[in-house]
Amino acid sequence: DAMVIQNPRYQVTQFGKPVTLSCSQTLNHNVMYWYQQKSSQAPKLLFHYYDKDFNNEADTPDNFQSRRPNTSFCFLDIRSPGLGDAAMYLCATSREKAYEQYFGPGTRLTVT
């Protein structure tokens, strides 16, 4: 089945230690998104790629970076995680910007 895959599902990192989360898709969608979600709050958009065009949200901290080396993969890098960065990180894709988004299962990040 075509899908959005996130690895790992659970990630534990130490305060200040860089960490990378990965997302891959078999849907061949043009757009890939990264969201941060805390508790049962609504997801908060961090940034998105339309093809290779990167779009950062104005309030996304500089500590968060992203890479999209090809259509299928997208990475979220947190350069120096703080305790406040502990959250669920969700990847989503859409065929085009005007179409529905499909989410992966998420990566639960714990910062110790």
Binding site for other proteins (CB under 8 A): 4, 6, 31, 40-43, 45, 48, 50, 90, 92, 94, 97-98, 100-106, 108
Residue 50 C-beta: closest distance to other proteins, Å? 7
Alpha-carbon span 13 to 17, nearest angstrom: 6
Whichever of 12 and 80 has its CB closer to other proteins, that residue is 12
43 versus 81: smaller Cβ distance to other proteins: 43
Q: Which is nearer to other proteins, 42 or 83 (CB)?
A: 42
CA angle at 58 for the pair 55 and 30, rounded to the nearest 5°: 20
Closest distance of CB 20 from other proteins, Å: 19
Pairing of strands 107-111, 53-56: unpaired
The dihedral region occupied by 80, where left means phi > 0, alpha psi between -120 and 50, and beta the remainder, is beta
Q: Where are the beta strands (DSSP E) in 8-70?
A: 10-13, 19-25, 31-37, 44-50, 53-56, 64-67
CB of 110 to other proteins, least distance (A): 13
Q: Quick one: 19 or 31, whose CB is closer to other proteins?
A: 31
How far apart are CB 63 and other proteins at their closest, in Å? Answer: 21
